[in-house]
Amino acid sequence: MFRIAEIQKNLLTLFGILLLAGVLIYLLAPAGITDYTVIGTSYWHETKNRLLIKTAYDYNSLEEINRFPTKLGDWRGYDFRYPDSVYEMLNASVILSRSYSSHGDLIWMDIINSHKGESFHDPKICYGGKWNIDDETLETFNVVGNQTHLTFHEMHTNRLDISNKKNPDTKQVVLYWFMFKRFSDEGVTMIRLSAPVRNTPEETFEMMKGFLENELFAAMYEEEVEEVTVAENIIDKHGTTGVAIVATLILVPICLIILGPLASRVRKT
């Protein structure tokens, strides 16, 4: 009997500790946590390189994406279309293809949103027909001006350096990453940028990095706004009742932690 009582005491205490940890994580989380988008180097699941941030556009909406600015600093954008066979193959919900140019530099951007995994053909496979993949790496960028929204202060993308199989002197640098929301069925968005190599791949990459960090990220991701925790949001909405709700959520697991040892003492007496 004593051994059973000890096990019950430990289970009750452990449950109380786990419940308290869960309550505190919930109450201290940003009130709009479901509005955050996961950015990573793989689709449909998070990686260790993932970033949480708020987007300035709903990438699940073609109407929203069509409002994406064509002017980004000194860069001017012009929409273009691929052959119809490309869109039939992708079978995506939202596709925006646009070229941005500035002082002789050129970058192609694709925004592809879909609920279907087949819409995201591995770029390494897509380029494999006409292109050689000369190098494959992960690159790190800073998202400037939005630091209050970041779980981490860095963003990671995939990078491919490719060369044309028929004309090896024709080279491109390709950067791509994925975005999706937790607890949502809105689908996944892939952002892909590519640029022709004029001198060296590294010079081209540095040009693209300047475009991303100085112009594109500011347009893609939301400006700084005041963020409150779930606990603060409950209190703001319900006043004194909200304080009671928050206090109750915290006190219940604390009571369980205390009751564990007390229950054991009662059994002993």
Structure tokens at 4: 């059973």
Q: Are 132 and 165 in contact (CB under 8 A)?
A: yes
- Indicate if the alpha-carbon torsion angle 49, 55, 107, 126 is positive or negative: positive
Query: End-to-end alpha-carbon separation of the chain, Å?
Result: 13
pLDDT by residue, tens only, the chain of 269 residues: 445 445 455 677 788 788 888 888 777 766 655 567 888 888 767 777 788 788 888 888 888 888 999 999 999 999 998 888 777 777 777 889 999 999 999 999 999 888 766 556 667 777 777 899 999 999 999 876 444 444 446 889 999 999 999 999 999 999 999 998 876 677 889 999 999 999 999 999 999 999 999 999 989 987 544 456 777 778 877 888 888 988 988 888 888 788 766 655 555 55
Beta-bridge partner residues of 107: 100
Structure tokens, 17: 């500790």
